[in-house]
Each structure stands twice: as C-alpha cells, then as structure tokens.
Structure 1
Amino acid sequence: MINTDEFTIRLQKVIDYYGENASSFAEKIGVQRSSISHVLSGRNKPSLEFILKILSTYPDVELYWLLNGKGSFPSDEISNKETKVIENKISETTASNPDIENKPLEMILESKNENQGSKNKTIERIVIFYSDGTFKNYSN
C-alpha cells in the first residue's frame, strides 16, 4: 500500500527537480490542476493512470521509487551516455563474434573481460531497463 504522505513528498521532489509548479506539472502530464492539488494535500490518493502519466512524461522517475521510496531519483543507475557506450561495446562484440547472441550475458561478460588483457579494465555492472519501468542488474 502506498504511504500517501511519503508519496506526496516524492511527488513534490519530482515537481521541484524539473522546475515546475503544480499547474505546469499538471499540464505536462495531462491532468487537471485540481488533481495535483488533491494528491499533494493528501485529500486523494494517486490513481494508476496518474502515476503512469508521470512515468511516461518523466522517464527519469522510477516506478518503485515513486511508489515506495525504493531506488533513486533522479535515476542514477546508468546515464544515457553510459548506455550508448555499453550498446556500442555490445554491437562491436556481436559484430566480431556473430554467434554471441546465443550466449548468456554472463558468458559475454567473461569473454569481454578476457579480451581486455593488460588494460586492467573490467565490466563491473550492466543494467538493462525495460519499457515497463523494471530493470535487470548484472554484476560481476
């Protein structure tokens, strides 16, 4: 169950982070100004539709953080720049080894780390984000 008081604090943090006021935030996510006011005052609990509108408008907001405070905001698990670097590395690896797509991720990481040799660089972690707001964390 959502703790409404804590949810309103997190919602206010999102509004402040993006430099919005309640009216402009309501307009951006496509709800009435009164909906924001009622949620912030604790009069109403947020609906699923309300939460989904926030998540679709502000992709840095993590579902689990918004609902129960677990996770982080802004999403600092991995930046867009780091995502591009990882995607490029994976593309390079798959291009040089076409059968790699059939290997589990752990095997890819092991072979990639072995190929780096004297560079003393290893992949610490890869995080894959899914469109439903969930993610999978792969660590060595």
Structure 2
Amino acid sequence: MVNTEAIIKRIQVIVAHYGLSTSSFADSIQVQRSSMSHLLSGRNKPSLDFVTKVIHTYPEVDLYWLLKGEGSFPRNKNTTEPQEPLSKTQKSQTSIKSAKPPTLFENVEDEPKIKASIKTSKENSNKVLCKVILLYNDGSFQEYRP
C-alpha cells in the first residue's frame, strides 16, 4: 500500500529543491493550483496522472523514490536504468515516426475549377427562390419567403 502522507512530504521536498512555490510547481506540471492545494492539505490523494506529470516534467525525480521512498533524490547521474531491446512493434513504430510526414495539400488543384463550376451553375439556373429555412441548434427554426 502506498503511504499518501509520505508522498506528500516527498512532493514538498521536490518543490523546495527547485525553489518553487506550490502554485508555480502546479503550473509547471500542468495541473490546477487547487488540486495541488488539495493534495498538500491531504484532502485528495495523488493520482496516477499527477505522478506521471511530475516524473515527465522533472526527470531527476525517481519514480520509486516518489512512491515508496526507495532510491535517492535527485536521481544519481551514474545510475542508469536497464534498457530492454526494442520489440518488433517498437521498431516499426520508430520507423513510422521517422518517415516523412505526408503533405496535406500536395494534390489539390487551385480554385479556378470551383469558380468555373459556380459560374456555370448560375448561368444554367432558371430556378427561383421560394423560401429559406434557418435551423437552430435548440431545435427551433425560422422560415422566410421572398
């Protein structure tokens, strides 16, 4: 079981280490200031999202240190995490990411065709407007007749 009070104390150590106020720390990890206040007061427990934001924003914070108090803070530079070889899916995802992104508008022709089709529809039209209906998102509508 995770000791919430101990995690809160370690979060306070992180805030003090970087010389931040609690509100600036909350801003830096992109959480609401009120959620940081509720967490430090003991009203709320730290969520997985909160912990991952701390770990990603401050890479010197060791996950095991934050959650269980094991290890050290800041993380030793000599400590390296074992790297596992890439699986086939990770290799294919890496090659997909490195591929050239497609250009969105490479095969789109310019406006002249559109303008020409608008002109022809106006020229060939012998239709007369009989009514206009405006539909609103609340389900109401208005009808206009010329």
Q: TM-score, normalised by structure 1?
A: 0.56
Q: CA deviation at 1:27?
A: 0.4
Question: Partners in 2 of 1:4 and 1:128 — Cα distance?
Answer: 27
Q: State whether structure 2 residue 81 is matched by structure 1 residue 129.
A: yes
Residue 36 (structure 2) pairs with residue 2 (structure 1): no
For residue 12 of structure 1, give the secondary structure of its aligned residue in structure 2. Answer: helix
- Tell me the amino acid that sits aligned with residue 61 of structure 1: V
Paired position in structure 2 for 1:35: 35
Unaligned runs of 5+ in 2: 84-146
Work out whether 1:60 is the aligned partner of 2:73: no
What amino acid maps onto 2:56 in structure 1? S
Unaligned runs of 5+ in 1: 79-126, 132-140
CA radius of gyration, larger in: 2
The alpha carbon displacement at 1:35 in A equals: 1.0
| Alignment length (residue pairs) | 83
Displacement of 1:13: 0.1
Larger fraction in helix = 1
Structure-2-length-normalised TM-score: 0.54
In structure 2, C-alpha distance between the alignment counterparts of 1:4 and 1:34, rounded to whole Å = 18
Measure the CA separation in 1 of the matches of 2:41 and 2:70.
22
Question: % of aligned pairs identical?
Answer: 53
The alignment's C-alpha RMSD in Å is 1.5
What's the counterpart of residue 69 of structure 2? Answer: 69
Residue type matched to 1:72 in 2?
S
Where do 4+ consecutive residues of structure 1 move more than 4 Å?
none
- Residue-by-residue CA offset, 1:10-63 (whole Å, 9 max, x unaligned): 000000001111100000000000111111111111000000000000000000
Indicate the structure whose relative CO is greater, using CA pairs within 8 Å and at least 6 residues apart: 1
What are the equivalent positions in structure 2 for 1:40-51 lying under 5 Å apart?
40-51=40-51
Look up the match of 1:106. none
